[in-house]
């Protein structure tokens, strides 16, 4: 079989890279959605902000670290951002598509350079961009169609809950707090992921 196998330094994605990317992104999405459902079940709407913002990246980053290390090629972060954005777009959030494209471009710029996906600090730094983009999926409806969105929220939540959510997604100090929590969760998740990568994955020599 004469197939031009990519050299180790080639940036061309192999079928194995694509499959690894899909498998791990599915896991990341499943983990995030399950955590979101549980969080929504046990917490009041105004309190979910203080938990989800650090919990989701904390749970997802260790998986991302392994995926980035295994693929190690340009496009991992941009692809992951676009896949999550596409999911939200297909579930009715059309405004998520341009946000995801911008997030993907910024993320890939952050990861610019040789072997950046094998450098844990840069992997974590890039993944913070992913979660900041995720945060903007929540902010955008308030910026684009605030009244209609508040009316929709008002159908399901009480006035206090809606007021809290509007403040959390529109006022700058709250937004900065959310981004800081995303960054903290990603950094701690990255440390855990890095430890697991060395302790389990590299030792098993399958990554």
Partner 1 sequence: MEKCDIKTGVFGLDPRTHLLSFLVVGIAAMLVTGLLETALLQLLAAAYLAANGRARLSLKMCASFTVVCGLSFLPLSGLYGALFVSFLHMIPPFTAGCALFTLSPSAIMCALDRWRLPQRVLVGVCMVFRFASVLSFEARSIVRGIRMRGIFPHAFDIVRHPGLAYECVYTPLVMRSLRLSSELAASAELRGIEIGRGRTSVYHVGFTWRDAACLVVVAVVCAGIYGAGAIL
Q: How far apart are CA 152 and CA 139, in angstroms?
A: 15
The answer to whether residue 24 forms part of the interface with partner 1 (CB under 8 A) is yes
Instruction: Please give the distance of CA 199 from its chain centroid, rounded to a whole number.
Output: 24
Identity of the residue, 17 or 125, whose beta carbon is nearer to partner 1 in the bound complex:
17
Indicate whether 5 belongs to the interface with partner 1 (CB under 8 A). no
Distance of alpha carbon 97 from alpha carbon 152, whole angstroms? 21
Binds partner 1 (CB under 8 A): choice among 6, 19, 109, 176: 19
Shorter beta-carbon distance to partner 1: residue 26 or 176: 26
Q: Is 171 in the site for partner 1 (CB under 8 A)?
A: no
CB atoms < 10 A from the CB of 154, how many?
12
- For residues 156 and 163, is the Cβ–Cβ distance under 8 A? no
Contact range with partner 1 by CB under 8 A, out of 97-105, 109-117, 122-130, 145-153: 145-153
For residue 178, how many C-alpha atoms fall within 13 Å in the half-sphere facing its CB? 25
Q: x/- site string to partner 1, residues 44 to 73, per CB under 8 A?
A: xx--x----------x--xx--x---x---
Read off the tokens for 77. Answer: 């972060």
| Binding piece for partner 1, criterion CB under 8 A, among 99-107, 115-123, 179-187, 197-205 | 197-205
Nearer to partner 1 (CB atom), residue 173 or residue 205: 205
Of 83-122, binders to partner 1 (CB under 8 A) are 90-94
d(CA 82, CA 96) in angstroms, rounded, equals 9
> Alpha-carbon distance 200 to 157, whole Å?
44
Contact present, 47 and 175 (Cβ < 8 Å): no
CA–CA dist 158, 190 (Å, integer): 37
Q: Are 17 and 73 in contact (CB under 8 A)?
A: yes
Stretch that binds partner 1, among 25-33, 109-117, 125-133, 169-177 (CB under 8 A): 25-33
Q: Could you tell me which stretch among 35-43, 108-116, 123-131, 174-182 binds partner 1 (CB under 8 A)?
A: 35-43
The contact set with partner 1 (CB under 8 A) reads 3, 13-16, 18-24, 26-27, 30, 36-37, 39-45, 48, 59, 62-63, 66, 70, 90-94, 151-153, 155-157, 161, 196, 200-201, 204, 206-207
């Amino acid at each position: 079989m004469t197939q031009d196998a990519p050299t180790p330094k080639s940036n061309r994605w192999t079928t194995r890279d694509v499959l690894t990317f899909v498998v791990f992104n599915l896991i990341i999405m499943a983990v995030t959605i399950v955590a979101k459902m549980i969080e929504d079940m046990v917490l009041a709407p105004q309190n979910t902000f203080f938990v989800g913002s650090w919990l989701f990246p904390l749970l997802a980053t260790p998986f991302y670290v392994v995926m980035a290390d295994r693929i190690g090629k340009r496009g991992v972060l941009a692809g992951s951002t676009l896949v999550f954005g596409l999911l939200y777009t297909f579930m009715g959030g059309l405004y998520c598509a341009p946000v995801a494209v911008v997030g993907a471009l910024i993320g890939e710029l952050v990861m610019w350079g040789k072997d950046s996906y094998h450098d844990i600090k840069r992997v974590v730094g890039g993944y913070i961009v992913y979660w900041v983009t995720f945060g903007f999926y929540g902010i955008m409806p308030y910026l684009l169609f605030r009244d209609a969105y508040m009316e929709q929220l008002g159908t399901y939540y009480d006035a206090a809950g809606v007021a809290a959510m509007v403040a959390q997604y529109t006022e700058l100090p709250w937004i900065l707090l959310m981004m800081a929590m995303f960054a903290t969760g990603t950094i701690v998740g990255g440390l855990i992921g890095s430890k697991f990568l060395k302790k389990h994955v590299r030792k098993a020599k399958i990554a």
